Amino acid sequence: MSPVTSLILGLGLFFLGLRLVGDNLRLLCSSSFRDVIRSSIHSPLARVGVGLSAGALMQSATAVTFILVSMVGSGLISASAAGLIIIWCNVGLTALAFVATLNISAIVGLVVGAAGIAMGMLRKRLPQTVAGAMLGLGLILYGLERMSAGAAPLKEADVFRGVLEHAVANPVLAFAAGIAAAAILQSNSGAVMLVITFAASGLIDLEPAMLLIFGTNMGAIGLRLFLAAGLNRSMLRLVRLEDLFCVISGVLMFGLFLIEQCGVPLVGAFVRSLHRSIDVQLAVVFLLSNLIPAAVMTPFMGVWRGMLEKLWPDKSAADDPSRPMYILPQALNDPSTALDLMGKELIRLLSNIPVKPIEEGDGENPDPAFQTLSLAIETFAVQLSARSVLNEKQAALLHGLRAELSLIRHTEEAVRHFCRGLKPDAAGKLDETLADLLKDVVDAASSRDAAKLAQVEERTKWKGEFLNQVSNGHAEALETLDATAAHEDFRIAVWTLHRLSKLITRLDANGS
């Protein structure tokens, strides 16, 4: 196998391992991670610990950021509490660099082999998931070995050495090369491990390797710009906070490097004083390039939030009712959060049902905004069932939420059919009564208040006193339908709300 082939193979195995570790740990820790975050929201020190742990396990600050974006959207954590976790997860992901410096090549093959056999033989979900995470870890370590084996012979290749020396010829070029490497690989951890591999093989000296590492944090910003498209402003600010950390990290560490070139002993002097191998020294550099910016930013979290709110303020105008606000593609990797977000989006869909007189000739089809949003929710549900491994409880909840979507569509159809018989000047009468009742259902569903839901169920009974009094008292608001038909249209619309409130109550009871 040629050195270049070995290097590419190592990179491929490394990223495959990262993917396996991340995916399987999300399955293992999804509900536990949510519970830990809930318990940490009142303690800054606990949030720092959660960030360190999440970064070390997920090995991707971008993945942790978007998990938190989803959790903020579902109301599990505030944006201010999530910020500290995002900052410190960058420090946690440096753990892999230290693991890679250990001499554990003798057991890597055993880990990969045993995990692969376990995945092939075991059928239960939990053991398979654990085996998948172990296989991912083994592939990461084996990939690093192959990268080292491929990089060592390249030291003798004049062309490769010439290209590499040109890329790190001066501090600015080396820093920019680090940004480019992380952008191409879409992973600052992967880029750093590649730099450490080259340095350990003698291809790069300590100083240019440090500059490459300083630049890697900024390389992932482009990917997040793409992934953050469509987020509302409060969620977008969390992604921009991670981008801000990367910018501050790169600028701060590059500035410290330039100061050190003027004779002030800083990061370079410290790692040289360790008298360890260059891979250990660069692992420490990677740690410091994230630890120092995190320590600098933490006391001023309020300042950063205020700055981001000025740059990306909440929109004062009403949001586009046809555009999803909560269901994010990134949430599909976390079924529990995805189901929470889907529930919130369904309530938003219900609140967007228009209750107003419809002119003659209109009303054959749902309101375009309602139809677009309902289709987006349906697509999200299909993707969730196809892409995620759901346990029995999650599968039952997803089935219930899809039933809720169906009932909301029936409610919209019933309300639309009723509104087609209203006079345009009948405002303040039957349409307002139905609109108020719909608002009560939305409020009860949003608060998940069992008492409010019970009240709505009682008011919307088919033969309930409230329903009969309201429908009999507003027959004059109709233009073309006789009183009997009008009563029936109104009662059908209210009956769908009754069924919907009962379903929401049942879903809440089963989900608790």
Contacts of 13 (CB under 8 A, 6+ apart): 139, 140, 142, 143, 146
Q: Is residue 54 domain-resident?
A: yes
Top mean pLDDT of 166-170, 296-300, 361-365, 421-425 is at 296-300
Cα distances from 58 to residues 8, 17, 25, 65, 185, in angstroms, run 23, 11, 7, 11, 17
Residue 324 domain flag: no
pTM of the model: 0.76
Domain boundary among 275, 310, 345: 310
Rounded Cα–Cα distance for residues 79 and 98 (Å): 31
Residue 273 located in a structural domain = yes
Domain that holds residue 45: 3-310
pLDDT above 60: residue 206:
yes
**Once rounded to an integer, what is the mean pLDDT over residues 226-239?**
81
Q: 259 and 384 in one domain?
A: no
Do 278 and 418 belong to one domain? Answer: no
Q: Are residues 19 and 86 in the same domain?
A: yes
pLDDT tens readout for residues 66-124: 888 888 877 778 888 899 999 999 999 999 899 888 877 778 888 888 888 988 888 78
Same domain, 380 and 234: no
Gap between the Cα atoms of 51 and 64, Å rounded: 9
Task: Judge whether 255 lies within some domain.
Answer: yes
Distances (CA, A) of 214 to 99, 128, 407: 20, 38, 54
CA–CA distance, 344 with 76 (Å, rounded to integer): 12
- 287 with 378, same domain: the answer is no
Asked if the model's pLDDT at residue 316 lies above 60, the reply is no
User: Is there a single domain that holds both residue 145 and residue 244?
Assistant: yes
Helix axis angle, 335-351 to 392-419, nearest 10°: 10
Give the largest Cα separation in the chain, rounded: 94
Q: Is residue 318 part of a domain?
A: no
Residue pointed to by tokens 């590419």: 8
> Domain holding 379: CATH number?
1.20.58
Domain's final residue, options 279, 310, 341: 310
- Whether residue 504 lies inside any domain: the answer is yes
Q: Give CA–CA dist 221/227, Å, rounded.
A: 10
Residue 471, pLDDT score: 56
Say whether both 278 and 406 belong to one domain. no
Q: Are residues 103 and 241 in the same domain?
A: yes
Residue range 232-244: mean pLDDT, rounded:
89
Pair (239, 340) in one structural domain? no
DSSP 388: S
- The total domain count for the chain is 2
Q: How many angstroms separate the CA atoms of 264 and 258, rounded?
A: 9
Grade residue 428 by pLDDT with cuts at 50, 70 and 90: very low
268 and 355 belong to one structural domain: no
pLDDT tens across 331-376, in order?
787 788 888 889 999 999 999 998 877 765 566 788 888 999 999 9
Let me know how long the chain is. 512
Residue found by looking up tokens 């999650």 in the block:
394
In a domain, 487, yes or no: yes
3-state class (DSSP) for residue 328: coil
Crossing angle of the two packed helices 79-92 and 233-261, in degrees rounded to 10: 40
Considering the domain architecture, whether residues 247 and 334 belong to the same structural domain is answered as: no
In a domain, residue 37? The reply is yes
Domain boundary among 257, 279, 310: 310
- Same domain, yes or no, for 276 and 364? no
